[in-house]
C-alpha cells in the first residue's frame, strides 16, 4: 500500500495515520509514503517487476510515478472547489523503472457492483478471508452474524463501513436487476 498526499493533512490526521501504519502493514504487507519517495528508498519494492499504480482519480498516482521514474507525466494541483485532485491521466502507460516497468493508469470514480455476488465481495477483502476462518459460522458475511471474528477484530472502522455499504449495494442491485 502506498499512501500519498500526507503533506495536505493536518497534524492530528497525520498522527492518526502514523498510529494506523502498523495495522496497514498487517493488512497490506508494506506501507510506503509516496510524498517521501525516492528511487533508492523503494527500489526493492518495484525493481525487476511489472507494477501498476491504480486508484481513485486525483490521489497522486502520476505524481508518485514522476518521483519514482523521473518522468514528467502531466499532473494538476488540488482543486479548491472539489477539495481533491483532478482527473488528469487519460490512458495507461508503462514506464521503465529499475529493470522492470511501472504502469500509470487513469483513475476511477466509482465501483460498479452490478455483476458481483455477496460471496465475491466478501472474498475480495483479503484480510477478511483470513479473519473469517475464525468466525463461528462457516460462510460468515461479517454483517449480522454472532461471534464474527471480523467484527471483533481491529479492522479499520472505515474499511469495515465501506464493506457493509458495498454489501448493501450488491443486495440492492440484485433486488432491482432486470432479468432478460
pLDDT of 1 above 70: no
For the stretch 83-126, pLDDT in tens is 555 555 656 778 888 888 888 777 776 677 888 899 999 999 98
Whole-prediction pTM value? 0.47
Q: Which residue ranges form the domains of the chain, and what is each CATH number?
A: 2-104 (no CATH), 118-176 (1.10.40.50)
Phi-psi region of 146 (alpha: psi -120 to 50; beta: other; left: phi over 0): beta
Output the CA torsion 81→66→64→62 (10° steps): 50
C-alpha cell read off for 65: 510515478
- What is the percentage of the chain residues whose pLDDT exceeds 70? 70
Question: Which phi and psi (to 5°) does residue 167 adopt?
Answer: -65, -40
Answer yes or no: are the C-beta atoms of 145 and 131 closer than 8 Å. no
Amino acid at each position: 500500500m502506498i499512501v500519498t498526499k500526507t503533506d495536505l493533512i493536518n497534524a492530528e490526521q497525520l498522527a492518526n495515520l502514523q498510529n494506523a501504519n502498523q495495522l496497514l502493514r498487517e493488512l497490506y504487507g508494506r506501507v510506503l509514503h509516496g510524498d517521501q519517495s525516492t528511487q533508492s528508498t523503494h527500489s526493492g519494492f518495484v525493481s525487476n517487476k511489472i507494477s501498476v499504480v491504480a486508484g481513485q482519480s486525483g490521489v497522486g498516482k502520476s505524481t508518485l510515478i514522476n518521483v519514482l521514474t523521473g518522468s514528467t507525466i502531466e499532473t494538476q494541483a488540488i482543486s479548491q472547489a472539489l477539495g481533491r485532485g483532478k482527473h488528469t491521466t487519460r490512458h495507461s502507460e508503462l514506464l521503465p523503472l529499475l529493470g522492470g516497468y511501472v504502469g500509470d493508469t487513469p483513475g476511477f470514480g466509482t465501483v460498479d457492483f452490478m455483476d458481483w455476488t455477496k460471496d465475491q465481495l466478501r472474498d475480495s477483502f483479503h484480510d477478511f478471508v483470513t479473519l473469517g476462518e475464525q468466525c463461528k459460522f462457516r460462510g460468515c458475511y461479517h454483517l449480522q452474524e454472532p461471534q464474527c471474528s471480523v467484527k471483533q477484530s481491529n479492522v479499520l472502522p472505515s474499511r469495515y463501513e465501506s464493506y457493509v455499504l458495498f454489501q448493501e449495494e450488491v443486495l440492492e442491485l440484485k433486488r432491482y436487476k432486470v432479468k432478460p
